[in-house]
Structure 1
């Protein structure tokens, strides 16, 4: 975990997050994958979200390592529905328990503006494309544990069809829950590409959404590529895990660190770090966010 995550783990302080900033990111987000004939993509910006007068929506999470980004993302989606007058959540995190085993879990059931009941699966993921990679299997998680092809396959073949099985229908009816008429997927996040050509790397014919959010990645021994001839005009922020979703939205008055401090923070341990890059015209102008990336021990 990053330096701020480690400090939080040591101090055991609860984490406070302004979900309003993450929701702003979500409302402008793009899915990682394109829809298919059997999978419809949930579009957050199609919800008639009306923000409340309170501009901040602070939510408390347990300190590291108990903090979970997935739970954080689910709460962000919950806030989206809470601000809608036409869409409402019926239930979330519905564990389907059979006598002999757990069959799975439905992330969310909601009712739309046409009074249809929808099963919605949620996931926010960050994958980097290995150098010279050309397949979905070459998009791997920052810690090297998961892969985009496996996640996509499980969503398509197990999690989404689950609500149409008879045992799940029986479970829902037994718990006085309505049966969904169809399912949708919210799979968003970012894909990261090798720094040298990160803005222009395109992998076709894999089903990726061409408008997905993208960033760069570098190994510890490649960080010198972030240096500039005028170091005082480029700065960095190393994000704690709980700011991965909204990123720069959590820093309206950014105070970036210099390259040497970035080198110290981002290489202090083998855990991946997400880094925001800022630039300015001169020392008298404000910092402007430019892009973000992952720094990895590889």
Structure 2
């Protein structure tokens, strides 16, 4: 179990687990490539302990948090993640919320929206921009330096280089614009970026070392794997193992690992053949989490990845090469 998994696993409530993952997961970008300093929810070991203590208190009584973060209108993962971070900034022990989702307009047209304006314990006024991303690496066999464009969204509607460019040239610059100065929100404001969550690489397991990682990507970023439906069917077959279960992850469960209870695992193992048959003919990329039973009999997530349609890699390579 990784350090992040051990930290998240101390919390029972799934929404608190998602927030803990958002706060403590490593960044996807190197500090030198983030376009601004990387945001830090805590600036010292003492503040880190205070955040963990606050999360434990929230875990014991999460009702108010649920009312804020479990809005049925939150059908996009990015909006849900913003609600989690916004609650922390407003109620956590190390920050004070000043404004959220601050629109900038020019001639009645919205030209941007700042995610969060806040003040930390040291009194520094910060402008945080959040991005939670899940990209699949689609490099080819040609030896070359990897590019951010090689990381594409599972539905081929997003690409890491495009998101990075917008973050650096537009989002992080919002508080330096004349339109922002007209809002009369006392600064100065220090822009900081929060870019998380996970990058997925072709193969049967998440590699610890990725030889062709793009130079902008942080060394310790979270990793997963992806396989085509045919590769999945050939390597895993339809036979069940009594110490291993697979769970399809809906989009709103893509942040932190979920708990898998014994009764649920038994049902998944009993239906393993059906699950494998369905995954062999999927029409869209599907995230899976694999759970292994440990020596105590508890089920814990050990890997996470995507099964993609057989024609997806060709379409993904074309999307990665396209000038947009």
- With structure 1 as the length reference, what TM-score do the two structures score? 0.82
In structure 1, the residue matched to 2:196 is 188
Equivalent residue in structure 2 for 1:39, among 18, 22, 36: 36
- The answer (yes or no) to whether the contact 1:169–1:179 under 8 Å persists in 2 is no
Distance apart, 1:165 and its partner CA? 1.4
- The answer (yes or no) to whether the contact 2:175–2:189 under 8 Å persists in 1 is no
Unaligned runs of 5+ in 1: 1-16
- The answer (yes or no) to whether the contact 1:191–1:215 under 8 Å persists in 2 is yes
Equivalent residue in structure 2 for 1:81, among 83, 89, 111: 89
Equivalent residue in structure 2 for 1:208, among 201, 212, 217: 217
CA distance in 1, matches of 2:126, 2:245: 44
Q: Secondary structure at the match of 1:36?
A: helix
- The answer (yes or no) to whether the contact 2:133–2:197 under 8 Å persists in 1 is yes
What is the aligned length? Answer: 273
Equivalent residue in structure 1 for 2:116, among 108, 112, 120: 108
The Cα offsets for residues 196-215 of structure 1, whole Å up to 9 and x where unpaired, read as 46414233562110000000
The Cα offsets for residues 52-88 of structure 1, whole Å up to 9 and x where unpaired, read as 355334242327xx61111100111123224423411
Equivalent residue in structure 2 for 1:237, among 217, 236, 247: 247
Equivalent residue in structure 2 for 1:152, among 164, 168, 171: 164
Q: Secondary structure at the match of 2:252?
A: helix
* Residues 45/117 of structure 1: CA separation in 2 closer, same or farther (3 Å cut): closer
Distance apart, 1:104 and its partner CA? 0.7
Distance apart, 1:150 and its partner CA? 0.8
The Cα offsets for residues 191-245 of structure 1, whole Å up to 9 and x where unpaired, read as 0000146414233562110000000011122213245987222211111111111
- The answer (yes or no) to whether the contact 1:130–1:139 under 8 Å persists in 2 is yes
The Cα offsets for residues 167-205 of structure 1, whole Å up to 9 and x where unpaired, read as 2211x21xxx32343100000010000014641423356
In structure 2, the residue matched to 1:62 is 72
CA distance in 2, matches of 1:153, 1:82: 29
The Cα offsets for residues 115-145 of structure 1, whole Å up to 9 and x where unpaired, read as 1211110110000001427211110001011
In structure 2, the residue matched to 1:14 is none
Q: Secondary structure at the match of 1:275?
A: strand
Equivalent residue in structure 2 for 1:279, among 283, 292, 298: 292
What is the root-mean-square deviation of aligned Cα atoms in Å?
Answer: 2.6
Structure 1 segment 19-34 matched on structure 2, within 5 A? 19-34=15-30
Q: Secondary structure at the match of 2:230?
A: helix
* Residues 90/281 of structure 1: CA separation in 2 closer, same or farther (3 Å cut): closer
